[in-house]
Amino acid sequence: MMSKHTQVYTLPIRVYFQDTDAGGVVYHASYVNFMERARTEWLRDRYGYSNAGLMNEFGVAFVVRSLKLDYLKPALLDDLLAVSAQIKDAGRSRVTLLQSVMRGDELLVEAEIHLVCVAMDNFKPVGIPEVLRKQWKD
């Protein structure tokens, strides 16, 4: 049986006019926003924590340390996309996610995102809350 952290989480996202350039093609930075939404909902739906909840309960937040995106094909105005998030690995204060953007069976963008858990009072790295870390390391 697959553990919860190895399962792929997918969020449907419709491409709106605001996401595109004048030609109706999704602007490259919009994919970063789509992936942020998918990560946020993945954390909420899969593990029961909103970003605000992590800040309020633990005084921490996840920030992007680095990201690598490969743009393979363009998404277009009104496309229905499936944006995924899946844990690749996790450490004491960092987590690496694999993300993709699909249109049906077509892979449009793939990414590797490195997040670091930081304290809200000084933005220095701290340990991921145990309630999450134990689920991510099983």
Secondary structure of residue 2 in the 3-state scheme:
coil
pLDDT tier, 19 (very low <50, low <70, confident <90, very high otherwise): very high
Q: Is the pLDDT of residue 5 over 60?
A: no
What is the pLDDT, as a whole number, of residue 4?
54
Q: Is the pLDDT of residue 6 over 80?
A: no
Strand partners, 101: 83, 109
The pLDDT of 11-36, averaged and rounded, is 97
Q: Is the pLDDT of residue 131 over 50?
A: yes
Compute the distance between CA of residue 21 and CA of residue 19 in angstroms, rounded to an integer.
Answer: 7
Compute the distance between CA of residue 120 and CA of residue 110 in angstroms, rounded to an integer.
Answer: 30
69 near 32, Cβ under 8 Å? yes
**DSSP code per residue over 54-97:** HHHHHSEEEEEEEEEEEE-S--BTT-EEEEEEEEEEE-SSEEEE
What is the residue extent of each domain of the chain? 4-136
Instruction: Spell out the CATH class of 4-136.
Output: alpha beta
Q: Is the pLDDT of residue 70 over 70?
A: yes
Active site residues: 21
What is the pLDDT, as a whole number, of residue 2?
46
Cut 0.85: pTM above it? yes
Compute the distance between CA of residue 129 and CA of residue 137 in angstroms, rounded to an integer.
Answer: 12
pLDDT tier, 44 (very low <50, low <70, confident <90, very high otherwise): very high
What is the pLDDT, as a whole number, of residue 136?
84
Give, to the nearest 10 degrees, the angle between helix 28-47 and helix 51-58. Answer: 60
pLDDT tier, 1 (very low <50, low <70, confident <90, very high otherwise): very low
In the chain, % helix, strand, coil (3-state, to 5) comes to: 30, 40, 30
Rounded to the nearest angstrom, the gap between the alpha carbon of residue 78 and the centroid of all alpha carbons in its chain is: 22
The three-point CA angle 102-9-125 to 5° equals 110
